[in-house]
Structure 1
Protein backbone atom coordinates (compact mmCIF):
# COMPACT_ATOMS: atom_id res chain seq x y z
CA UNK A 1 0.00 0.00 0.00
CA UNK A 2 2.85 2.33 0.81
CA UNK A 3 4.45 1.78 -2.62
CA UNK A 4 1.10 2.43 -4.32
CA UNK A 5 0.63 5.58 -2.29
CA UNK A 6 4.10 6.86 -3.10
CA UNK A 7 3.58 6.05 -6.80
CA UNK A 8 0.38 8.07 -6.74
CA UNK A 9 2.22 10.91 -5.05
CA UNK A 10 4.92 10.79 -7.72
CA UNK A 11 2.43 11.05 -10.58
CA UNK A 12 0.50 13.71 -8.68
CA UNK A 13 3.69 15.73 -8.20
CA UNK A 14 4.49 15.54 -11.92
CA UNK A 15 0.96 16.63 -12.85
CA UNK A 16 1.09 19.42 -10.28
CA UNK A 17 4.40 20.68 -11.66
CA UNK A 18 3.08 20.58 -15.24
CA UNK A 19 0.11 22.67 -14.16
CA UNK A 20 2.33 25.13 -12.27
CA UNK A 21 4.61 25.53 -15.29
CA UNK A 22 1.63 26.14 -17.58
CA UNK A 23 0.36 28.71 -15.09
CA UNK A 24 3.81 30.32 -15.04
CA UNK A 25 3.67 30.86 -18.80
CA UNK A 26 0.32 32.62 -18.40
CA UNK A 27 1.85 34.87 -15.72
CA UNK A 28 4.79 35.65 -18.01
CA UNK A 29 2.41 36.69 -20.80
CA UNK A 30 0.63 38.89 -18.28
CA UNK A 31 3.95 40.58 -17.48
CA UNK A 32 4.39 41.35 -21.17
CA UNK A 33 0.81 42.62 -21.42
CA UNK A 34 1.23 45.05 -18.53
CA UNK A 35 4.55 46.33 -19.89
CA UNK A 36 2.87 47.12 -23.22
CA UNK A 37 0.09 49.01 -21.45
CA UNK A 38 2.61 51.00 -19.42
CA UNK A 39 4.40 51.82 -22.67
CA UNK A 40 1.14 53.27 -23.99
CA UNK A 41 0.51 50.37 -26.39
CA UNK A 42 -2.90 48.72 -26.04
CA UNK A 43 -3.14 47.22 -29.53
CA UNK A 44 0.00 45.23 -30.39
CA UNK A 45 0.55 41.65 -29.23
CA UNK A 46 2.76 39.85 -26.77
CA UNK A 47 4.30 37.04 -28.83
CA UNK A 48 4.17 33.42 -27.56
CA UNK A 49 6.41 32.88 -24.54
CA UNK A 50 9.50 30.82 -25.41
CA UNK A 51 10.87 28.19 -23.03
CA UNK A 52 14.49 28.28 -24.21
CA UNK A 53 15.83 26.14 -21.36
CA UNK A 54 14.39 24.10 -18.51
CA UNK A 55 14.21 27.13 -16.23
CA UNK A 56 14.57 30.04 -18.66
CA UNK A 57 11.85 31.87 -20.58
CA UNK A 58 11.71 34.76 -23.03
CA UNK A 59 8.92 37.29 -23.49
CA UNK A 60 8.99 39.10 -26.83
CA UNK A 61 6.74 41.67 -28.45
CA UNK A 62 5.23 42.42 -31.84
CA UNK A 63 6.40 46.04 -31.78
CA UNK A 64 9.04 48.16 -30.09
CA UNK A 65 8.33 49.49 -26.62
CA UNK A 66 9.80 51.57 -23.84
CA UNK A 67 9.80 50.78 -20.13
CA UNK A 68 10.65 52.13 -16.71
CA UNK A 69 12.86 49.73 -14.68
CA UNK A 70 10.86 50.45 -11.51
CA UNK A 71 7.66 49.32 -13.23
CA UNK A 72 9.27 46.19 -14.69
CA UNK A 73 10.57 45.18 -11.26
CA UNK A 74 7.23 45.77 -9.56
CA UNK A 75 5.22 43.95 -12.23
CA UNK A 76 7.46 40.87 -12.17
CA UNK A 77 7.55 40.73 -8.37
CA UNK A 78 3.79 41.11 -8.05
CA UNK A 79 2.88 38.53 -10.69
CA UNK A 80 5.62 35.97 -10.00
CA UNK A 81 4.64 36.00 -6.32
CA UNK A 82 1.68 33.94 -7.60
CA UNK A 83 4.04 31.29 -9.06
CA UNK A 84 4.57 28.50 -6.48
CA UNK A 85 7.75 27.36 -8.26
CA UNK A 86 9.35 30.80 -8.46
CA UNK A 87 12.00 31.44 -5.83
CA UNK A 88 15.14 33.23 -6.93
CA UNK A 89 15.28 34.50 -10.49
CA UNK A 90 17.30 36.78 -12.77
CA UNK A 91 15.70 39.13 -15.30
CA UNK A 92 17.59 40.45 -18.33
CA UNK A 93 16.18 42.87 -20.88
CA UNK A 94 17.79 42.18 -24.25
CA UNK A 95 17.83 44.54 -27.22
CA UNK A 96 16.97 42.33 -30.21
CA UNK A 97 18.67 44.74 -32.62
CA UNK A 98 22.18 44.19 -31.27
CA UNK A 99 21.77 41.38 -28.68
CA UNK A 100 22.99 43.71 -25.92
CA UNK A 101 21.68 43.61 -22.35
CA UNK A 102 19.78 46.86 -21.83
CA UNK A 103 18.89 46.20 -18.20
CA UNK A 104 18.98 43.44 -15.62
CA UNK A 105 18.35 42.59 -11.98
CA UNK A 106 18.11 39.62 -9.61
CA UNK A 107 15.34 38.83 -7.12
CA UNK A 108 15.77 36.44 -4.19
CA UNK A 109 13.50 34.96 -1.55
CA UNK A 110 15.81 36.58 0.96
CA UNK A 111 15.20 40.25 0.15
CA UNK A 112 18.68 41.31 1.26
CA UNK A 113 20.12 39.27 -1.62
CA UNK A 114 18.19 41.23 -4.28
CA UNK A 115 20.41 42.94 -6.87
CA UNK A 116 18.69 46.01 -8.32
CA UNK A 117 20.31 49.07 -9.88
CA UNK A 118 19.63 52.06 -12.14
CA UNK A 119 15.95 52.44 -11.31
CA UNK A 120 14.12 55.60 -12.28
CA UNK A 121 15.74 55.83 -15.73
CA UNK A 122 13.25 55.34 -18.54
CA UNK A 123 14.64 53.12 -21.29
CA UNK A 124 14.42 54.28 -24.94
CA UNK A 125 12.08 52.60 -27.40
CA UNK A 126 13.56 49.41 -28.84
CA UNK A 127 12.63 45.80 -29.77
CA UNK A 128 13.15 44.38 -26.29
CA UNK A 129 13.07 40.75 -25.21
CA UNK A 130 12.52 39.98 -21.51
CA UNK A 131 14.55 36.95 -20.42
CA UNK A 132 13.72 35.41 -17.02
CA UNK A 133 15.82 32.58 -15.60
CA UNK A 134 14.56 30.79 -12.48
CA UNK A 135 16.74 29.03 -9.95
CA UNK A 136 15.98 25.27 -9.97
CA UNK A 137 13.79 24.20 -7.05
CA UNK A 138 15.07 20.68 -6.45
CA UNK A 139 12.68 17.75 -6.81
CA UNK A 140 9.81 19.88 -8.07
CA UNK A 141 11.75 20.70 -11.23
CA UNK A 142 13.29 17.28 -11.94
CA UNK A 143 12.47 15.39 -15.08
CA UNK A 144 9.59 12.93 -14.91
CA UNK A 145 11.82 9.95 -15.58
CA UNK A 146 14.11 10.79 -12.71
CA UNK A 147 11.19 11.22 -10.36
CA UNK A 148 9.55 7.94 -11.32
CA UNK A 149 12.88 6.12 -11.25
CA UNK A 150 13.34 7.15 -7.64
CA UNK A 151 10.26 5.38 -6.30
CA UNK A 152 12.18 3.03 -3.96
CA UNK A 153 13.87 6.01 -2.38
CA UNK A 154 10.55 7.85 -2.18
CA UNK A 155 8.98 4.81 -0.52
CA UNK A 156 11.68 4.89 2.13
CA UNK A 157 11.20 8.61 2.62
CA UNK A 158 7.45 8.04 2.84
CA UNK A 159 7.95 5.40 5.53
CA UNK A 160 10.09 7.75 7.59
CA UNK A 161 7.63 10.54 6.96
CA UNK A 162 4.67 8.49 8.22
CA UNK A 163 6.52 7.82 11.45
CA UNK A 164 7.25 11.45 12.05
CA UNK A 165 5.00 14.24 13.19
CA UNK A 166 3.75 16.25 10.24
CA UNK A 167 4.63 19.92 10.85
CA UNK A 168 2.22 22.67 9.95
CA UNK A 169 3.04 24.52 6.77
CA UNK A 170 2.76 28.25 6.83
CA UNK A 171 1.28 30.02 3.82
CA UNK A 172 3.83 31.96 1.74
CA UNK A 173 3.61 35.68 2.29
CA UNK A 174 3.15 37.81 -0.81
CA UNK A 175 5.68 40.66 -0.59
CA UNK A 176 4.20 44.11 -0.22
CA UNK A 177 4.70 46.17 -3.36
CA UNK A 178 4.67 49.95 -3.06
CA UNK A 179 3.70 50.49 -6.71
CA UNK A 180 0.67 48.63 -8.07
CA UNK A 181 -0.10 48.46 -11.79
CA UNK A 182 -3.74 49.02 -12.72
CA UNK A 183 -3.93 48.71 -16.49
CA UNK A 184 -1.76 51.57 -17.75
CA UNK A 185 -1.96 53.38 -14.40
CA UNK A 186 0.78 53.19 -11.77
CA UNK A 187 -0.59 53.47 -8.24
CA UNK A 188 2.11 54.49 -5.74
CA UNK A 189 0.67 53.52 -2.36
CA UNK A 190 3.57 55.02 -0.42
CA UNK A 191 3.66 58.47 -2.02
CA UNK A 192 -0.13 58.46 -2.60
CA UNK A 193 0.06 59.22 -6.31
CA UNK A 194 -1.25 57.95 -9.64
CA UNK A 195 0.83 58.03 -12.81
CA UNK A 196 -1.47 58.26 -15.84
CA UNK A 197 -0.15 59.01 -19.33
CA UNK A 198 2.93 60.68 -17.87
CA UNK A 199 0.83 62.81 -15.54
CA UNK A 200 1.10 62.63 -11.74
CA UNK A 201 -2.11 62.87 -9.70
CA UNK A 202 -1.90 63.21 -5.92
CA UNK A 203 -4.36 61.36 -3.70
CA UNK A 204 -5.59 62.14 -0.21
CA UNK A 205 -4.95 59.63 2.54
CA UNK A 206 -8.53 58.33 2.42
CA UNK A 207 -8.59 58.13 -1.38
CA UNK A 208 -5.38 56.12 -1.24
CA UNK A 209 -6.80 53.71 1.35
CA UNK A 210 -10.02 53.16 -0.60
CA UNK A 211 -8.18 52.59 -3.88
CA UNK A 212 -5.73 50.23 -2.19
CA UNK A 213 -8.61 47.99 -1.10
CA UNK A 214 -9.92 47.91 -4.68
CA UNK A 215 -6.43 47.33 -6.11
CA UNK A 216 -5.95 44.35 -3.79
CA UNK A 217 -9.00 42.69 -5.36
CA UNK A 218 -9.22 43.84 -9.01
CA UNK A 219 -12.29 42.70 -10.95
CA UNK A 220 -13.82 41.39 -7.73
CA UNK A 221 -16.80 42.74 -5.84
CA UNK A 222 -15.87 44.61 -2.66
CA UNK A 223 -18.72 44.86 -0.18
CA UNK A 224 -19.81 48.33 0.82
CA UNK A 225 -19.82 47.30 4.48
CA UNK A 226 -16.19 46.21 4.23
CA UNK A 227 -15.13 49.57 2.80
CA UNK A 228 -17.00 51.46 5.49
CA UNK A 229 -15.57 49.28 8.24
CA UNK A 230 -11.93 49.37 7.10
CA UNK A 231 -11.84 53.06 6.24
CA UNK A 232 -14.01 54.78 8.79
CA UNK A 233 -14.70 52.51 11.74
CA UNK A 234 -11.24 53.11 13.21
CA UNK A 235 -12.11 56.79 13.33
CA UNK A 236 -15.23 56.04 15.35
CA UNK A 237 -17.79 57.00 12.72
CA UNK A 238 -19.29 55.42 9.62
CA UNK A 239 -21.00 57.74 7.14
CA UNK A 240 -22.50 56.25 3.97
CA UNK A 241 -22.35 59.49 2.00
CA UNK A 242 -18.63 59.83 2.72
CA UNK A 243 -17.95 56.59 0.87
CA UNK A 244 -20.02 57.68 -2.12
CA UNK A 245 -18.09 60.94 -2.25
CA UNK A 246 -14.69 59.24 -2.30
CA UNK A 247 -15.82 56.71 -4.91
CA UNK A 248 -16.91 59.64 -7.08
CA UNK A 249 -13.55 61.36 -6.61
CA UNK A 250 -11.63 58.20 -7.52
CA UNK A 251 -13.70 57.78 -10.67
CA UNK A 252 -12.65 61.25 -11.77
CA UNK A 253 -9.02 60.48 -10.97
CA UNK A 254 -9.11 57.36 -13.15
CA UNK A 255 -11.25 58.66 -16.01
CA UNK A 256 -8.17 59.32 -18.19
CA UNK A 257 -7.83 55.55 -18.67
CA UNK A 258 -10.96 54.15 -20.38
CA UNK A 259 -9.91 50.60 -19.44
CA UNK A 260 -10.41 51.23 -15.72
CA UNK A 261 -13.66 52.00 -13.97
CA UNK A 262 -15.29 51.59 -10.57
CA UNK A 263 -18.74 50.12 -11.11
CA UNK A 264 -21.65 49.64 -8.73
CA UNK A 265 -22.72 46.10 -7.86
CA UNK A 266 -26.32 46.74 -6.92
CA UNK A 267 -27.17 45.87 -3.35
CA UNK A 268 -23.64 44.66 -2.55
CA UNK A 269 -20.89 47.20 -3.15
CA UNK A 270 -18.41 48.16 -5.84
CA UNK A 271 -15.97 46.58 -8.28
CA UNK A 272 -12.74 47.95 -9.76
CA UNK A 273 -12.96 46.73 -13.36
CA UNK A 274 -9.75 46.53 -15.37
CA UNK A 275 -10.44 45.63 -18.98
CA UNK A 276 -7.93 43.25 -20.52
Structure 2
Protein backbone atom coordinates (compact mmCIF):
# COMPACT_ATOMS: atom_id res chain seq x y z
CA UNK A 1 0.00 0.00 0.00
CA UNK A 2 2.78 2.40 0.92
CA UNK A 3 4.65 1.63 -2.31
CA UNK A 4 1.60 2.45 -4.45
CA UNK A 5 1.03 5.62 -2.49
CA UNK A 6 4.61 6.85 -3.02
CA UNK A 7 4.45 6.02 -6.74
CA UNK A 8 1.22 8.04 -7.05
CA UNK A 9 2.78 10.92 -5.16
CA UNK A 10 5.87 10.91 -7.41
CA UNK A 11 3.71 10.91 -10.56
CA UNK A 12 1.65 13.85 -9.27
CA UNK A 13 4.71 15.91 -8.33
CA UNK A 14 6.57 15.23 -11.61
CA UNK A 15 3.46 16.01 -13.65
CA UNK A 16 2.88 19.28 -11.80
CA UNK A 17 6.51 20.34 -12.12
CA UNK A 18 6.53 19.54 -15.85
CA UNK A 19 3.41 21.61 -16.43
CA UNK A 20 4.81 24.46 -14.34
CA UNK A 21 8.08 24.42 -16.28
CA UNK A 22 6.22 24.52 -19.60
CA UNK A 23 3.98 27.45 -18.67
CA UNK A 24 6.83 29.31 -16.94
CA UNK A 25 9.07 29.03 -20.02
CA UNK A 26 6.28 30.44 -22.22
CA UNK A 27 5.75 33.34 -19.83
CA UNK A 28 9.50 33.97 -19.61
CA UNK A 29 9.83 34.03 -23.43
CA UNK A 30 7.08 36.63 -23.72
CA UNK A 31 8.50 38.72 -20.85
CA UNK A 32 11.96 38.76 -22.44
CA UNK A 33 10.61 39.80 -25.85
CA UNK A 34 8.58 42.55 -24.19
CA UNK A 35 11.66 43.70 -22.27
CA UNK A 36 13.70 43.93 -25.49
CA UNK A 37 11.06 46.20 -27.04
CA UNK A 38 11.15 48.46 -23.97
CA UNK A 39 14.97 48.62 -24.02
CA UNK A 40 14.94 49.56 -27.70
CA UNK A 41 12.51 52.36 -26.89
CA UNK A 42 14.84 53.60 -24.11
CA UNK A 43 17.68 53.74 -26.65
CA UNK A 44 15.45 55.51 -29.19
CA UNK A 45 14.33 58.14 -26.67
CA UNK A 46 17.94 58.70 -25.60
CA UNK A 47 18.91 59.45 -29.22
CA UNK A 48 15.97 61.84 -29.59
CA UNK A 49 17.15 63.73 -26.50
CA UNK A 50 20.54 63.99 -28.22
CA UNK A 51 18.69 65.51 -31.25
CA UNK A 52 19.47 62.46 -33.39
CA UNK A 53 16.37 61.25 -35.23
CA UNK A 54 18.10 59.23 -37.96
CA UNK A 55 20.53 56.82 -36.27
CA UNK A 56 19.39 53.33 -35.34
CA UNK A 57 19.41 51.42 -32.09
CA UNK A 58 21.24 48.16 -32.85
CA UNK A 59 19.76 44.77 -31.80
CA UNK A 60 19.54 44.31 -28.04
CA UNK A 61 22.00 41.71 -26.71
CA UNK A 62 21.44 39.44 -23.72
CA UNK A 63 24.98 39.14 -22.38
CA UNK A 64 24.07 36.96 -19.37
CA UNK A 65 21.08 36.05 -17.21
CA UNK A 66 19.09 39.19 -16.35
CA UNK A 67 21.63 41.48 -18.07
CA UNK A 68 20.93 43.19 -21.40
CA UNK A 69 22.98 45.57 -23.54
CA UNK A 70 21.81 48.51 -25.69
CA UNK A 71 24.16 49.58 -28.50
CA UNK A 72 23.86 52.33 -31.09
CA UNK A 73 24.71 52.85 -34.76
CA UNK A 74 26.29 56.29 -34.26
CA UNK A 75 28.10 58.29 -31.61
CA UNK A 76 25.95 60.51 -29.40
CA UNK A 77 25.97 62.55 -26.19
CA UNK A 78 23.72 62.28 -23.14
CA UNK A 79 23.08 63.84 -19.74
CA UNK A 80 23.20 61.37 -16.84
CA UNK A 81 19.92 62.70 -15.39
CA UNK A 82 18.15 62.04 -18.70
CA UNK A 83 19.29 58.40 -18.77
CA UNK A 84 18.22 57.83 -15.14
CA UNK A 85 14.81 59.39 -15.76
CA UNK A 86 14.17 57.50 -19.02
CA UNK A 87 15.01 54.08 -17.59
CA UNK A 88 12.96 54.67 -14.43
CA UNK A 89 9.92 55.95 -16.35
CA UNK A 90 9.88 53.18 -18.98
CA UNK A 91 10.37 50.28 -16.54
CA UNK A 92 7.70 51.55 -14.12
CA UNK A 93 5.14 52.20 -16.88
CA UNK A 94 5.46 48.66 -18.27
CA UNK A 95 5.44 46.69 -14.97
CA UNK A 96 8.99 45.42 -15.51
CA UNK A 97 11.43 44.79 -12.61
CA UNK A 98 12.35 48.09 -10.94
CA UNK A 99 15.49 46.96 -9.12
CA UNK A 100 18.52 47.16 -11.37
CA UNK A 101 22.08 48.36 -12.00
CA UNK A 102 22.90 50.49 -15.05
CA UNK A 103 26.44 50.62 -16.46
CA UNK A 104 27.48 52.88 -19.36
CA UNK A 105 30.66 51.64 -21.07
CA UNK A 106 32.90 53.32 -23.62
CA UNK A 107 32.94 51.16 -26.80
CA UNK A 108 36.60 51.90 -27.50
CA UNK A 109 38.52 51.34 -24.28
CA UNK A 110 35.73 49.38 -22.52
CA UNK A 111 35.97 51.68 -19.51
CA UNK A 112 33.00 52.28 -17.23
CA UNK A 113 32.12 55.97 -17.52
CA UNK A 114 28.83 56.09 -15.58
CA UNK A 115 26.94 53.69 -13.31
CA UNK A 116 24.13 53.73 -10.80
CA UNK A 117 21.93 51.34 -8.80
CA UNK A 118 18.23 51.40 -7.98
CA UNK A 119 17.21 49.00 -5.20
CA UNK A 120 14.53 48.78 -2.51
CA UNK A 121 16.74 46.87 -0.08
CA UNK A 122 19.57 49.39 -0.14
CA UNK A 123 19.76 53.11 -0.62
CA UNK A 124 19.56 54.12 -4.29
CA UNK A 125 23.06 54.99 -5.49
CA UNK A 126 22.92 57.77 -8.09
CA UNK A 127 26.38 59.35 -8.40
CA UNK A 128 27.53 61.94 -10.96
CA UNK A 129 24.10 63.36 -11.79
CA UNK A 130 23.81 66.56 -13.82
CA UNK A 131 26.83 65.81 -16.01
CA UNK A 132 26.78 65.87 -19.80
CA UNK A 133 28.94 63.22 -21.42
CA UNK A 134 30.98 64.13 -24.52
CA UNK A 135 29.99 62.76 -27.92
CA UNK A 136 31.20 59.18 -28.16
CA UNK A 137 30.37 55.51 -28.71
CA UNK A 138 28.55 54.10 -25.67
CA UNK A 139 27.06 50.75 -24.65
CA UNK A 140 24.38 50.70 -21.94
CA UNK A 141 24.09 47.54 -19.83
CA UNK A 142 21.11 47.00 -17.53
CA UNK A 143 21.26 44.19 -14.95
CA UNK A 144 17.95 43.34 -13.27
CA UNK A 145 18.36 42.37 -9.61
CA UNK A 146 14.94 40.95 -8.81
CA UNK A 147 14.80 37.19 -9.29
CA UNK A 148 12.02 35.67 -11.34
CA UNK A 149 9.30 33.89 -9.39
CA UNK A 150 6.50 31.43 -10.08
CA UNK A 151 3.03 32.83 -10.59
CA UNK A 152 0.31 32.18 -7.99
CA UNK A 153 -1.28 29.71 -10.41
CA UNK A 154 1.94 27.66 -10.54
CA UNK A 155 2.19 27.58 -6.77
CA UNK A 156 -1.39 26.28 -6.53
CA UNK A 157 -0.55 23.49 -8.97
CA UNK A 158 2.38 22.43 -6.82
CA UNK A 159 0.23 22.43 -3.68
CA UNK A 160 -2.22 19.87 -5.12
CA UNK A 161 0.03 16.77 -4.70
CA UNK A 162 1.31 18.09 -1.37
CA UNK A 163 -2.29 18.43 -0.15
CA UNK A 164 -3.06 14.85 -1.18
CA UNK A 165 -0.01 13.59 0.71
CA UNK A 166 -0.98 15.63 3.76
CA UNK A 167 -4.48 14.12 3.74
CA UNK A 168 -3.20 10.53 3.79
CA UNK A 169 -0.41 11.19 6.27
CA UNK A 170 -2.38 13.19 8.83
CA UNK A 171 -3.21 10.07 10.84
CA UNK A 172 0.45 9.09 11.09
CA UNK A 173 1.31 12.57 12.26
CA UNK A 174 -1.19 12.72 15.11
CA UNK A 175 -0.45 9.16 16.26
CA UNK A 176 3.30 9.65 16.26
CA UNK A 177 4.94 9.90 19.67
CA UNK A 178 6.61 13.17 20.41
CA UNK A 179 10.36 13.03 20.39
CA UNK A 180 12.00 13.02 23.80
CA UNK A 181 15.22 14.48 22.41
CA UNK A 182 15.81 17.90 24.01
CA UNK A 183 15.90 20.87 21.68
CA UNK A 184 19.44 22.24 21.40
CA UNK A 185 19.90 25.87 22.38
CA UNK A 186 19.85 28.35 19.48
CA UNK A 187 23.15 29.43 18.01
CA UNK A 188 23.72 33.13 18.67
CA UNK A 189 25.37 34.40 15.51
CA UNK A 190 26.17 37.95 16.56
CA UNK A 191 29.05 40.28 17.33
CA UNK A 192 29.16 42.52 20.39
CA UNK A 193 29.72 46.23 19.73
CA UNK A 194 29.61 47.89 23.12
CA UNK A 195 26.05 47.47 24.42
CA UNK A 196 24.82 46.45 20.97
CA UNK A 197 24.49 42.95 19.53
CA UNK A 198 25.10 43.01 15.77
CA UNK A 199 23.55 40.22 13.67
CA UNK A 200 25.22 40.57 10.21
CA UNK A 201 23.21 37.75 8.60
CA UNK A 202 19.92 39.41 9.59
CA UNK A 203 21.12 43.02 9.06
CA UNK A 204 19.94 44.12 12.50
CA UNK A 205 21.28 45.66 15.70
CA UNK A 206 19.81 44.83 19.10
CA UNK A 207 20.02 46.97 22.21
CA UNK A 208 18.17 45.40 25.14
CA UNK A 209 14.63 44.84 23.77
CA UNK A 210 15.03 47.25 20.84
CA UNK A 211 15.70 46.00 17.31
CA UNK A 212 17.30 48.40 14.81
CA UNK A 213 17.10 47.44 11.13
CA UNK A 214 20.04 48.08 8.81
CA UNK A 215 20.13 48.39 5.04
CA UNK A 216 22.29 45.91 3.12
CA UNK A 217 25.08 48.50 2.65
CA UNK A 218 24.92 49.60 6.29
CA UNK A 219 25.22 45.98 7.47
CA UNK A 220 28.13 45.32 5.12
CA UNK A 221 29.99 48.43 6.32
CA UNK A 222 29.32 47.69 9.99
CA UNK A 223 30.54 44.10 9.54
CA UNK A 224 33.92 45.45 8.38
CA UNK A 225 34.09 47.79 11.37
CA UNK A 226 33.00 45.03 13.80
CA UNK A 227 35.83 42.75 12.69
CA UNK A 228 38.36 45.58 13.06
CA UNK A 229 37.25 47.41 16.21
CA UNK A 230 39.53 50.27 17.31
CA UNK A 231 41.52 49.97 14.08
CA UNK A 232 41.78 52.59 11.33
CA UNK A 233 40.35 51.31 8.03
CA UNK A 234 41.35 53.10 4.83
CA UNK A 235 38.63 54.78 2.74
CA UNK A 236 39.78 52.89 -0.37
CA UNK A 237 39.23 49.53 1.34
CA UNK A 238 35.75 50.49 2.53
CA UNK A 239 34.70 51.72 -0.93
CA UNK A 240 36.05 48.56 -2.52
CA UNK A 241 34.45 46.06 -0.13
CA UNK A 242 31.06 47.78 0.17
CA UNK A 243 30.54 48.76 -3.49
CA UNK A 244 33.30 48.13 -6.01
CA UNK A 245 33.59 44.34 -5.49
CA UNK A 246 30.02 44.18 -6.85
CA UNK A 247 30.93 46.24 -9.91
CA UNK A 248 29.38 49.47 -8.57
CA UNK A 249 31.63 52.53 -8.61
CA UNK A 250 30.56 55.43 -6.40
CA UNK A 251 32.02 58.75 -5.32
CA UNK A 252 33.73 59.09 -1.94
CA UNK A 253 30.77 61.14 -0.67
CA UNK A 254 28.58 58.00 -0.68
CA UNK A 255 30.82 56.50 2.03
CA UNK A 256 30.49 59.62 4.21
CA UNK A 257 26.70 59.51 3.94
CA UNK A 258 26.61 55.80 4.85
CA UNK A 259 28.87 56.35 7.87
CA UNK A 260 26.61 59.22 9.02
CA UNK A 261 23.59 56.87 8.98
CA UNK A 262 25.46 54.25 11.02
CA UNK A 263 26.47 56.86 13.61
CA UNK A 264 22.81 57.72 14.23
CA UNK A 265 21.96 54.06 14.81
CA UNK A 266 24.86 53.62 17.26
CA UNK A 267 24.34 56.84 19.23
CA UNK A 268 22.61 55.19 22.22
CA UNK A 269 25.94 53.89 23.54
CA UNK A 270 28.34 56.73 24.44
CA UNK A 271 31.30 54.35 24.32
CA UNK A 272 30.70 53.44 20.66
CA UNK A 273 31.84 56.00 18.11
CA UNK A 274 32.88 56.05 14.45
CA UNK A 275 35.70 58.57 14.13
CA UNK A 276 37.19 60.04 10.99
CA UNK A 277 40.83 60.67 10.16
CA UNK A 278 40.68 63.20 7.38
CA UNK A 279 41.95 61.87 4.08
CA UNK A 280 42.78 58.46 5.56
CA UNK A 281 39.74 56.56 6.75
CA UNK A 282 37.39 55.68 9.59
CA UNK A 283 37.72 53.86 12.93
CA UNK A 284 35.03 52.14 15.04
CA UNK A 285 36.06 53.05 18.60
CA UNK A 286 34.52 50.84 21.30
CA UNK A 287 35.09 51.44 25.02
CA UNK A 288 37.58 54.28 24.42
Name which structure has the greater RCO, CA cutoff 8 Å, separation 6+. Answer: 1
Which of the pair is proportionally richer in strand?
Answer: 1
Q: TM-score, normalized by length of structure 2? A: 0.47
Which structure has the greater CA radius of gyration? 2
